[in-house]
Amino acid sequence: MTAAPATTARRSARKAKGDGHLRRAEILEVAERIFIAQGYEGATIRKIADEVGVSSTALYMHFPDKDAILLEICERTFRLLLERNREFAARPLDAVVRVKMMLEAYMRWGLEHPNAYQLVYTAPRPLSASLWPEDTVDLSTQCYVIFCNAVREIAAAGRLRTGTADTAAQAMWMSCHGVVALLAARPNFAWADREELIRVTLDGVLNGLVVD
Largest CA distance in the chain: 82
Cα–Cα distance list, 168 to 29, 131, 174 (Å) = 34, 29, 10
N residues, the chain = 212
Number of domains into which the chain is organized:
2
Phi, psi at residue 160, to the nearest 5°? Answer: -85, 130
Considering 36, 64, 92, which residue would you say is the last residue of a domain? 64
210: three-class secondary structure by DSSP? strand
**Contact at 8 Å (CB) between 130 and 67?**
yes
Residue 4 belongs to some domain of the structure: no
Give dist(CA 21, CA 2) in Å, integer: 37
Residue 125 belongs to some domain of the structure: yes
Q: Are residues 28 and 133 in the same domain?
A: no
CATH number for the domain harbouring residue 31: 1.10.10.60
Residue 1 belongs to some domain of the structure: no
Residue 8 belongs to some domain of the structure: no
Q: Are residues 166 and 98 in the same domain?
A: yes
Residue range 35-70, pLDDT digits in tens? 888 887 888 999 999 999 999 999 999 999 888 888
**Contact at 8 Å (CB) between 207 and 135?**
no
The pTM of the full predicted model, rounded to 2 decimals, is 0.79
**Contact at 8 Å (CB) between 165 and 151?**
yes
Q: Which of 3-17, 19-33, 167-181 has the highest mean pLDDT?
A: 167-181
**88-102, 106-120, 161-175, 180-194: the lowest-pLDDT one:** 106-120
Give dist(CA 99, CA 189) in Å, integer: 29
Q: Alpha-carbon Rg of the chain, whole angstroms?
A: 21
Q: Are residues 78 and 30 in the same domain?
A: no
CATH number for the domain harbouring residue 82: 1.10.357.10
Q: Are residues 196 and 111 in the same domain?
A: yes
Look at residue 5 in the predicted model and tell me its pLDDT. Answer: 43
Q: Are residues 57 and 77 in the same domain?
A: no
Q: Are residues 50 and 99 in the same domain?
A: no
Residue 206: exposed, middle, or buried by beta-carbon count in 10 A (0-12, 13-18, 19+)? middle
Domain range holding 20?
15-64
Q: Are residues 105 and 32 in the same domain?
A: no
Residue 33 belongs to some domain of the structure: yes
